[in-house]
Structure 1
Amino acid sequence: MQLSSTDHRLSVLHVAQPVDGGVARVVTDLVRSQLSAGMRVDVACPDGGCLPDAVRGLGSGTHRWAATRSPGPGLPGEVRRLARIVDALRPDIVHAHSAKAGLAARLALRGKVPTVFQPHAWSFEAVGGATARLALRWERFGARWATHVICVSEAERLTGQRSGVDARWSVIPNGVDVERFRPVAAQAARTALGLSGQAPVVVCVGRLCRQKGQDVLLRAWAAVTERMPLARLVLVGDGPDGAGLREQAPASVRFAGDVEDATPWYQAADLVVLPSRWEGMALVPLEAMACARPVLVTDVDGARESLPPELVPHGLVPAQDPQALARALVALLGDPSLRESLGRAAHRHVSNTHDVRHTADAVAAVYRELLGVGPIKCRESINP
């Protein structure tokens, strides 16, 4: 990624909360790309999670921003602390990731600095009742303080637009590092992870929380093992619902916990499943498809857009429907030749459509438009 000749070194401050999961991976990839472009890049985020160490290791400035994951009584202090960081750094652009960072950044800046807001799924979809109504009112109001809103799927943009969020939009699909996530023989991956080479293996990667729907998957899994008693399910990740999920899981379910790199688990899988209740565009299916593994996902925002046409009839089920999920799991696990064909199509699709370098170029184009600077073109791999 290369900046045109200019007297000014473009400076970006990324503000992130949460600091793990897909948001952390998106921010890390953007930071890597922008540093390679010669930008000055800083990240403000809470301690903990994988994000601070990851971006610090790339050479980004990191700034401790104490902030909880959800809004609460500490919000005014969080806004003041973020305003002080912005005043000290004086960035050209502030890029806020996810609902909480977007809330604090827009309140702190109120349009005084060009502000890009990237929801990574809308806050009002994550809650219900009065809390959802309050979140929606804020997103409608707060849009005035976002110079630009980046959605990761057209479905996410339409959800915001139909809900009355009036913004200047861009849709930039999520991308993954296709050199890091790549196909290898499943048998070798299974041996390294201590998995049986014979039993069908389904892998679900994600934070153990309501959004990701592992509770629905466990309800479906009982029906799967009635038909396929040798099948094994691996849940990769941890989170607030971990203890409850472990209590209800049968012996055929393995909890792998948090892992630094989920790539070996994708490569070991016959099938990767993500039964989310809501998303913007999930990274897990893209990472799995880059490893040439078929995926089964729920029909939430971004899901259809992330799949190749060949996979849609087989890889998409309604959200929160354990019976439909079980039927689709059994059908795919019972047809190895179909899985192999779908895996090849998935790999081609991600390589052509969801390479993270395309994502970095598109974000750079948004910055360029907002600031009126010269061309910014990605020319280097963003691998470390």
Structure 2
Amino acid sequence: MKIVHVTQPVAAGVAAVVRELAVSQRERGWSVAVVCPPGRLADRLRDEGVDVHDWPATRTPGPRTVTEVVRLKKILDRLDPHAVHLHSSKAGLAGRLVLRGRRPTIFQPHLWSFQTAHGLLRHVSAAWERLAARWAHQLVCVSDDELRAGRAKGIATAAEVVCNGVDTTVLRPRSRVAARRRLGLPDVPTAVCVGRLAPLKGQDLLLTAWPAVLASVPDAQLVLVGDGPMRDRWRAIGDHSSVRWWGHDTAVADFYTAADVVVLPSRAEGMALVPLEAMASGRPVVAFDVGGVRQSVGDAGAVVEAGNVPALAEAIAARLADPVLATGEGLTGRRRAEVLFDSGRVGDQIATLVDKLVGEGR
């Protein structure tokens, strides 16, 4: 089996999914290549022995898109794979323009483009997805919510829901005190938020809620792990001694372990990896009710109305103030991660889809 993954973006959850699938499929004995822009993902894949082809594409459509499409066509023609797996909106745009259904094609949106666009662009994005649906043989959605959103816009491609997964052998419950010592954090009630500092991820909403959390738990601390375009602006909101601006860090396991609660304040998601990683680490999750969150979190924390800042603050404070509640939810989360969201199960599901798709094509 020869499969090519095409991805842009190359960071955060999408990159983690692509890497897991590429490594898993190579271990099955498949010939696997990843086409993506140069950077951390490409470097890591090469270190792990995966064939990588540079595709210097930007994250959003623009004047360079035509050149990007031409470059991608040359790469795919040269590789001549049995199937192509397109990840996220930009790769989905370029890849479907190149392939146009002539080769078995999987498209995995990882959150629809029209769910993050506004105004006219939102309508244009939805129209494009309806048009391009004919050029994908298999749609893979990471949550039931994501599939429903696509169907509501008239996207009728044959679809399967394959929830994101995490390596539950690497992420495990460990000593909270030891993790805080390694990170140099004080041993006080701790909320952790992991994610790119960008409007979609909603850290500004969490920072707005934080004073209410401190009113209930005065010695609490908030650790923000990540960097991004909103860092300087949002530091003005969260300019408080209890807020730690950690910046980007690829080794996030200790941060989950150090937490009493992990917070996901996103404005939109397909199915975020952060709650799954937190649950695998045995920590409860507090999140807004956006795509895939209820399906992933279940009883392993609190899912509050999207954008409801007071409710977010109340749920965080409750778990920082009540270790018994937080521990119980953490144990529930660990069980959910092992049974429902282990990355090995994800790899098996995708491999089955690819085998079926290529077999039908032959």
Q: How does the TM-score come out when normalised to structure 1? A: 0.92
Structure 2 residue corresponding to 1:47, chosen from 38, 41, 64: 38
Shift of the alpha carbon at 1:155? 1.1
Match of 2:66 in 1: 76
Say which SS state the counterpart of residue 176 (structure 1) adopts: coil
Q: Does 1:365 align with 2:352?
A: yes
Q: Does 1:27 align with 2:14?
A: no
CA distance in 2, matches of 1:46, 1:226: 45
Say which SS state the counterpart of residue 107 (structure 1) adopts: helix
Say which SS state the counterpart of residue 272 (structure 1) adopts: strand
- Root-mean-square deviation over aligned CA pairs: 1.0
Match of 1:121 in 2: 111
Shift of the alpha carbon at 1:227? 2.2
Match of 1:177 in 2: 167
Structure 2 residue corresponding to 1:145, chosen from 135, 157, 166: 135
Match of 1:107 in 2: 97
Match of 2:55 in 1: 65
CA distance in 2, matches of 1:297, 1:92: 40
Q: Does 1:350 align with 2:337?
A: yes
CA distance in 2, matches of 1:196, 1:238: 22
User: 4+ runs of 1 displaced by more than 3 Å?
Assistant: none
Match of 1:224 in 2: 213
Is the CA contact (8 Å cut-off) linking 2:260 and 2:319 kept in structure 1?
no
CA offset digits 1:7-46 (Å, max 9, x no partner): xxx0111001110100010001001100100111111111
Is the CA contact (8 Å cut-off) linking 2:208 and 2:237 kept in structure 1?
no
Shift of the alpha carbon at 1:251? 2.1
Shift of the alpha carbon at 1:51? 1.0
Alignment identity in percent? 47
Letter in 2 for 1:337: V
Letter in 2 for 1:205: V
Shift of the alpha carbon at 1:291? 0.4
Letter in 2 for 1:31: A
- Number of residue pairs aligned between Structure 1 and Structure 2: 359
What are the ranges of 5 or more consecutive residues in structure 1 without an aligned counterpart? Answer: 1-9, 374-384
CA offset digits 1:215-248 (Å, max 9, x no partner): 1101011211122221100110111111211222
Q: How does the TM-score come out when normalised to structure 2? A: 0.97
CA distance in 2, matches of 1:345, 1:328: 17
Structure 2 residue corresponding to 1:98, chosen from 85, 88, 108: 88
Match of 1:322 in 2: 309
Structure 2 residue corresponding to 1:283, chosen from 265, 269, 273: 273
Q: Does 1:339 align with 2:330?
A: no
CA offset digits 1:162-200 (Å, max 9, x no partner): 111111101001110001111101000000000111x21
Shift of the alpha carbon at 1:157? 0.4
Letter in 2 for 1:84: K
CA distance in 2, matches of 1:91, 1:240: 37
CA distance in 1, matches of 2:249, 2:317: 27
Is the CA contact (8 Å cut-off) linking 2:165 and 2:342 kept in structure 1?
yes
CA distance in 2, matches of 1:216, 1:144: 39
Letter in 1 for 2:19: T
CA distance in 2, matches of 1:139, 1:171: 18
Match of 1:202 in 2: 191
